[in-house]
Amino acid sequence: MRKKAASIGAVMAAALLVLIFLSRTIYTYNIPIVTAANATIGKLRKTETAKGVVEWSEINTLYAPIDGKVSEVLVKEGDTITAGQEIALLVFDEAAIREQMAQLDTDRIRIDMSIEAIYTKIARTGQSITGWEQEHYGEESVSERDMQTIADKITAKQTDIAEKEVLYAGGTLTKRELDTAKDDLDALQKELLEAQAAYADNKEKVAEGLEKKEKDRASQIENLQYELTAYEQELRGKSLDIAENAAKKAKLEAQLTAFDASRYIYADMDGTIITLDIQKGKTVGEDQAVGTYGVGGALLLECELGIENNFVAVGDTCTISNANHTYQVTVDKLSVKDGKKQVTIHPTAESIQVGETFEISFRKDSASSYTLVPNAAVNKDGDGYFVYVVQTRTGILGDEYYVQKQPVQIGDSDSTNTVLTRGAGFFDPIVTLSDKPFGDNATVILKNEGDFIVQ
């Protein structure tokens, strides 16, 4: 019986151990495993990489000094040239120039003839204006003599009637003869009234005609003045044509004098030919660009950085490298272009060639030391920045690790670390990595617990 009880007890103890093991295993299986690190004292190390292509530091343009045809090209792209070196030979078409000059002489004759014609038109127009200005319109006498004749007849008739009235009173003249004389006087007076009315009407019409003629004269003079102004403007245009004609001819005469039979295109400075846009037999114009060359041996390497970059400065040393070369060079210039920082470098190594692509690496340590934590340790929510600090407490299975959210203030950062200005203690284990998500006060397993003395 005792043996049986002992056996049962042993089985139960074993089962209990198994249950405890399984419970602990299940419990710990869901706990995040974290890695932590202490804050350190150190310097920020700023790094940035960009790419750029080597170009000439200064590029000059070759120009044709005068109109001509390319007779010979004396250099090719990539050639090294010296100041004053002949680049190409131009030949001069003298017959074509003299033909142009003859045409200009013909044009000048035509201009002079057109000017003479304009002066003739001006004189004719001036005469017309004078004629209209001297034109005079007087009032016309209408029926004045007729009215005077009738008035004279009336006066005579009145005298005649007065005499006849005396004779009638004396009995020597009949009443009929007196009445006839009076009827004649009435007729004359009526005739005079009609003549006066006709005279007034005719005079009004004459006045209206005079006014119309005066308006017509003023309109004619105004139109002629406009014509005169137009002729004078045309004369000024012809004066400009004469000046342009003379300038063209002077230019051609200068070409005849300066060019002779041929002319060279020369290099202004030492350098290397980059492009040539001339061919034998091709015609070029005066001041036409015909090629470019890199001045001297100075090279240029440029790259762009983000506008937020605040550590690259003029005078800094950086590394340029590609599959063939690695050099230490100096930043010569910083500028802003299209919202980017543009870095300019002038490499001087003789083995560097125009067209090579380089990776440009910038690296600089901060002047001061700071309290640093890995970038992965810094988190942010609506309240600001914070870190998780590892602490210990008593759990259901004994002492355990947990994390506590700790607000912090941060400063600058580089690709690895962030400056911690306020918050976690210098010896606090700060979580940098976890295999599972977790929150404030979560239980965790500290993977590298041997690195810390956790409170």
Q: Which helix (H) or strand (E) holds 102?
A: helix 94-134
CATH of domain 65-88+264-291: 2.40.50.100
Q: What are the pLDDT digits (tens) for 234-262?
A: 999 999 999 999 999 998 888 788 776 66
| Distance between CA atoms of residues 290 and 125, nearest Å | 55
What is the strand order of the sheet 409-413 is part of? 40-42, 370-374, 417-422, 409-413
Is the whole-model pTM more than 0.85?
no
Cβ atoms of 403 and 36 within 8 Å: the answer is: no
Identify the pLDDT of residue 317: 92
Task: Pick 31-43+370-451's CATH classification: 2.40.420.20, 1.10.150.120, 3.10.129.10, 3.30.360.10.
Answer: 2.40.420.20
For the ranges 107-116, 220-229, 260-269, which has the lowest average pLDDT?
260-269
Give 398-444 as a DSSP string. EEEEEEEEEE-EEEEE-SSEEEEEESS-TT--EEEEESS---TT-EE
| Distance between CA atoms of residues 366 and 45, nearest Å | 6
| Distance between CA atoms of residues 424 and 373, nearest Å | 10
210 vs 197, 215, 248, CA distance in Å?
A: 20, 9, 57
Identify the pLDDT of residue 142: 43
Cβ atoms of 252 and 97 within 8 Å: the answer is: yes
Q: What are the pLDDT digits (tens) for 266-304?
A: 999 999 999 999 999 899 988 999 999 999 888 999 999
| Distance between CA atoms of residues 281 and 263, nearest Å | 14
CATH 2.40.30.170 fits 47-59+294-365, yes or no: yes
| Distance between CA atoms of residues 88 and 223, nearest Å | 62
Domain chopping of the chain, boundaries? 1-30, 31-43+370-451, 47-59+294-365, 65-88+264-291, 97-258
Average pLDDT, the chain: 85
CATH of domain 97-258: 1.10.287
